[in-house]
Homo-oligomer: A and B are copies of this chain.
Amino acid sequence: MKILVADDDPQIVAALRILLRAHGYDVVVARDGATALDAAAHEHPDLVLLDLGMPGLSGVQVIRAIRGWSTVPILVVSGRTESYDKVAALDTGADDYVTKPFLADELTARIRALTRRNASGTEEPVVLFGGVEVDLARHRVTRTADGAETVVRLTPTEWAFLEVLVRNPDRLVTRQYLLDHVWGPGHASDSGYLRLYMSQLRKKLEATPSDPVHLLTDPGLGYRFVPGREPAVG
């Protein structure tokens, strides 16, 4: 069990490190928002303990960024007791909110409550299909062709597009849904971005772009990501 502690107060960090180590957790520390994001992506923590008052990015920004690619439990620790702050953090994607000062017993109990769920539902943030590996946590796509493994470079829009598809495997993804989730709500003009980016994704990911196997079109409706063959045979 690994916990990422994101806090800029050395004393609190030291106290938390001792407390958490005593309860058997591995501890990783980040002292500002940018470092926290980096650590959340590369260290694969089982839980993020986030202080809202860090320099750099605001706490809500950090939460939103993490939630962009990860479902790791986020426990916010903050000196702010206003309900507005709590609501903002929770609605942005935090799972729990504890105000300072807090009791060690309660904090560890809440950590146990948050990590309990993911312990049973082991989620695999890596998707494989046809020689392509999509690592949602690391924002990274690698492709294996002719025995050589290469990293595929995707633009932000291409990544957002692919991510929406990959998060809905075997499902029809409506044009409208794609527009809302990639370009934000309000972009009702489907004047052809979708076809363009799908074309580029197929060029980068499919073995035969003109005859796609995993990134399919449902004519008149939208697109669909099909991971590949299932072990079950009909």
Contacts and interface: CB of A to CB of B under 8 A. Distances in A.
Contacts of A91: 109, 112-113
A189 interface: no
A25 to B, nearest CB: 16
A155 interface: yes
A127 interface: no
Interface residues of A, number: 41
A106 B97 CA distance: 10
A221 interface: yes
Given A90-B112, A94-B113, A137 B105 contact: no
A214 interface: no
Given A106-B83, A234-B148, A170 B221 contact: no
Contact of A221 (B109, B147, B159, B221): B159
The number of times this chain is found in the oligomer is: 2
Interface stretch (A30-38, A54-62, A138-146, A190-198): A138-146
Interface in A95-115: 95-97, 103, 105-106, 108-110, 112-113
Contact of A96 (B96, B148, B149): B96
Nearest to A87: B109
Given A96-B96, A109-B91, A234-B147, A138 B86 contact: no
B234 A170 contact: no
B86 A221 contact: no
Interface of A: 71, 83-84, 86-87, 90-91, 93-97, 103, 105-106, 108-110, 112-113, 116-117, 137-140, 144, 147-149, 155-156, 159, 170-172, 218-221, 234
